[in-house]
Amino acid sequence: MNENSSPDDTKRPVTIEHAPPLVSNAHDLVPAQSGAGLPALPATIQRPSRKRWFRVALALAVLAVGAGGAYYWWQRLHPPLPPGIAFGNGRLEADEINIDTKYAGRIAEMLADEGYLVKAGQVVARMDTQDLAASLKKSQAQVLQARRAVDEANANVAQQKTQVVLAQQEFDRAITLLKKGFQTQEVVDQRQQQLNGAIAALEAATARVTESQHALEAATHDVELYTVEIADNTLVAPHEGRIQYRIANIGEVLPAGGKVFAMLDTSYVYMDIYLPTEAAGKVRFGADARIVLDAYPKVAIPAKVSFIASQAQFTPKIVETQSERDKLMFRIRVRIDPERLRGRADIVRSGLPGVTYVLTDPAATWPASLQGTNGQ
């Protein structure tokens, strides 16, 4: 006890003013970093409220209802297929044809361009044929010359025939006079030699006729050859279709076989799909099929199976297990009837994605959505 303190001071309660409150909650303190010399900072751990849980549950319910509705409408638009029908995804394709040059030459004229719809036999380009035209005129002149040579040879034959007749008559008279004693044997021998010479000259003239005729035929064939070459330098569309690419321009010199256009043959339209082993093994050539394009989901285009691959795809080696055999895929091609495509080249679009349905069971029937639409 301090000497200056009074006895009453020992009886007074001791109070500490402005003292900070002690820890109200053990979770409200964060330990201070050692050596920082700073008081601990309170850290509040927020727990999700009931309102937040309600929002999450409501969102999940909306998603579930939306997914259910989407599945319902998908089932309405894509009802389950009956047994005996397989399907696969693919793209509508048209057979591509290259319009090439047969001979080397320069492009003189272009009569088509990309996107043009052309008919079978329509001229799409012409090559420069001035040299061929000059050769054609030369051959035509040679034909005229050969014809005159043939006429001359025939006239010579006629002349030699008269000489043979005259020599024969003189020889006959010499023989008669020799028998009567009014002609010598020397004269008879001379008449015999004249007759033999006339016959030989006739044979030579006849051979010249044959030679002239062969020369005429050769010249005529040259004319035909140059005519064909000029015609082949006029490029035409082999089928009805649409020009897809223009590869060359006017004035370019191309080698033999140089590409000028690439066109789509709209009479050969098909779709390739891939089916697993089980389904592909049941497909037959000529089996009925339907093509449904994404752009026209309500139109089922009738088609026929035209090709079945003999080897599996997507498998690098032969497998023997059942599970691996189920992974084998075979390429199947279905083709639209060319008669159905006749006159409809303007609506054929190559590259459109879609789905092909194939009958794997001939006794199966198409559902109403795949019956096919007349006129499509």
Are 289 and 155 contained in the same domain?
Answer: no
Q: What is the rounded CA–CA span in Å between residue 237 and residue 124?
A: 7
Q: Which residues make beta-bridge pairs with 97?
A: 263
| pLDDT category of residue 68 using cuts at 50, 70 and 90 | low
Same-domain pairing of 171 and 219: yes
270 and 358 part of one domain: yes
| Distance from C-alpha of 204 to C-alpha of 211, rounded to nearest angstrom | 10
If asked whether residues 335 and 357 sit together in one domain, one would say: yes
Q: DSSP letters of 73-129?
A: HHHHHSPPPPTTEEEEEEEEEEEEEEEE-SS-EEEEEE---TT-EE-TT-EEEEE--
Among 264, 265, 256, 262, smallest CA distance to 233 is for 256
Domain of 154 in residue numbering reads as 130-232
Does the residue 34 lie in any domain? no
Q: Which of 150-154, 305-309, 311-315, 329-333 has the lowest mean pLDDT?
A: 311-315
d(CA 92, CA 99) in angstroms, rounded, equals 22
Do the domain assignments include residue 42?
no
207 inside domain:
yes
By three-state DSSP, how is residue 197 classified? helix
Map residue 266 onto helix, strand or coil: strand
> Do 134 and 122 lie in a common domain?
no
Amino acid 187: pLDDT: 84
Flag whether 46 is in a domain: no
How far apart are the C-alpha atoms of 356 and 273, rounded to whole Å? 7
* CATH for 250: 2.40.50.100
Report percent pLDDT > 90 for the chain: 39
**Domain match, 274 and 364 both:** yes
Ordered alpha helix ranges (H), the chain: 50-77, 130-180, 185-232, 277-280, 322-325, 338-341
173 and 88 within one domain: no
Q: How many domains does the chain have?
A: 3
Final residue of a structural domain among 219, 254, 289: 254
Same domain flag for 175 and 202: yes
Q: Which two tokens stand for residue 27?
A: 């979770």
In a domain, 322, yes or no: yes
What backbone torsions phi and psi does residue 360 show, to the nearest 5 degrees? -95, -10
Q: Say what the pTM is.
A: 0.60
In this structure, the answer to whether residues 142 and 206 fall within a common structural domain is yes
d(CA 121, CA 99) in angstroms, rounded, equals: 12
In a domain, 359, yes or no: yes
Q: In this predicted structure, what is the pLDDT of residue 14?
A: 44
Question: 257: closest CA among 99, 111, 121?
Answer: 99
Q: DSSP 3-state assignment of 351?
A: coil
Query: Per-residue pLDDT averaged across 72-82, rounded?
Result: 60
pLDDT(30) > 80 = no
Query: What is the structure's pLDDT at 71?
Result: 55
Predicted local confidence at residue 315, as pLDDT: 53
